[in-house]
Structure 1
Amino acid sequence: MGGSGGVYEVRRAWTRAGVSWFAAAAVLIGVCFVPHVEPADTDHIELVFAPFALWVAGVCSSRRVAVRVGEDGITLCRVVPFRKPEFVGWADVVAVDWSDDEHFWGRTSRLTLYRRTPRPVAALPGNPGLEGLDAYLATQVDPDFVATFRSTIQVERGTTLTDVDPARLAAALTALAPTVRHFGDLGDLGGATPATRLTPGR
């Protein structure tokens, strides 16, 4: 983690998920060397797990910047270093969603930017059924929440193998882009609108 003058950087790092994935792959590779354990007709099956273990180790040990929240906008870097990072200026960022989810294989997290579209989505043609549904949703959902989906596209990056600190991320967003809405787990940490969760049931 790093940053100065309000800038916040999220870096690749060894996380609980990374350690778990690497350990699981290492155990499977080790089991393959135990006599009479490897299934018949599957010589060198450990070669299937070795690339994954090496990939996890390489990503977690790289300490490369994954996300940079700066004065001009957000830069989303890719796992593959030779691919060009994607920069989104604050003028185009409507909302930021960071969510930490629990699955049967462990915890994962993701960062989603809601980027303003060049052409706002037009309203749907008049339809009594749709109008009734819109009227009902208007009483159940924050209008700003609906507007975010109508006028944006999503840009998403996984942050499971990073040292992201949601409190510092929310603070940086508030300091550098006070009009940007916070969704997901960031909704509890401030933002332009009251806390809103995008994931049903969360």
Structure 2
Amino acid sequence: MPISSPDTYEICYGWTRRGAWIALILASFMGVGLIPGAEPPVGHLLEPLLAPILAATVLTASCRRTAVLIDHKGITLGRLPFTHREFVPWSEIVSVDLRNVVAGSGRFRVPILDVRHRRGAAPRWDPANSPGVQAIDTYLAAHVDAEFVETFRGITMSTRGMVLCRLDPARLKEAVQGFAPGVRVSGDVDQGSPP
């Protein structure tokens, strides 16, 4: 979790315990096919499916590229394979959330960083013409604080997985609140850094 200067918080891709386990497990499954006389667990389809995932994991962890940059202009979400680099200025950001998605029958927690913002939001629907949106609005009006609903209406979300990053939740919260005190910071930011 290198901090470039007092004004920025930069999170870089790199090897983490979780990322190393993923690479080791993928390599082990692929290695079964290399044992003389052994039959791969899923025939010969396993290696072509796992090789690109293993290569992407190793390249991403080894590149040390910026995953997330928080500075006085806004938040920049770095590029991963199959994603694009994205910059979101503070004026468009509504909230920053760090959450853990449970995977693998509850054995693994995958840390995810969500940036909710107004730019690129889907076109607004007229609730009178959309029964689904009208039903959601009715439910939210009955169960959720009206100010909260209005804050998050018409936004979109940009997401980055933090499996190959060492993220300090306290530093994340401090940086966001330092640059944009009006932006909501929520989720698992008060817990310790995921491994």
Q: How many Å apart are 1:90 and its aligned residue?
A: 0.5
The answer to whether structure 1 residue 143 and structure 2 residue 154 are counterparts is no
Matches within 5 A, 1:57-96: 57-80=58-81, 85-96=85-96
- TM-score where L is the length of structure 2: 0.78
Using a 3 Å threshold, how does the CA distance of structure 1 residues 24 and 123 change in structure 2: closer, same or farther?
same
Q: Is the 8 A contact 1:12 1:161 kept in 2?
A: yes
Partner residue of 1:112 out of 111, 114, 121: 114
- How far, CA to CA, are the matches of 1:43 and 1:69 in structure 2? 44
Matches within 5 A, 1:26-45: 26-39=27-40, 42=43
Q: How many Å apart are 1:76 and its aligned residue?
A: 0.8
Q: Is the 8 A contact 1:6 1:175 kept in 2?
A: no
Using a 3 Å threshold, how does the CA distance of structure 1 residues 173 and 22 change in structure 2: closer, same or farther?
same
Q: Is the 8 A contact 1:121 1:150 kept in 2?
A: no
Using a 3 Å threshold, how does the CA distance of structure 1 residues 185 and 144 change in structure 2: closer, same or farther?
farther
The answer to whether structure 1 residue 22 and structure 2 residue 29 are counterparts is no
- How far, CA to CA, are the matches of 1:134 and 1:80 in structure 2? 37
Q: How many Å apart are 1:95 and its aligned residue?
A: 0.8
Matches within 5 A, 1:118-129: 121=124, 124-125=127-128
Q: Is the 8 A contact 1:96 1:181 kept in 2?
A: yes
SS in 2 for 1:125: helix
Using a 3 Å threshold, how does the CA distance of structure 1 residues 74 and 37 change in structure 2: closer, same or farther?
same
Q: Deviations over 1:54-79 (max 9, x none)?
A: 22111111111011000110011111
SS in 1 for 2:57: helix
Q: Is the 8 A contact 2:99 2:111 kept in 1?
A: yes
- How far, CA to CA, are the matches of 2:118 and 2:42 in structure 1? 54
The answer to whether structure 1 residue 158 and structure 2 residue 191 are counterparts is no
Query: Aligned pairs, how many?
Result: 185
Q: How many Å apart are 1:11 and its aligned residue?
A: 0.6
SS in 1 for 2:165: coil
Unmatched segments (≥5 aa) in structure 2:
none
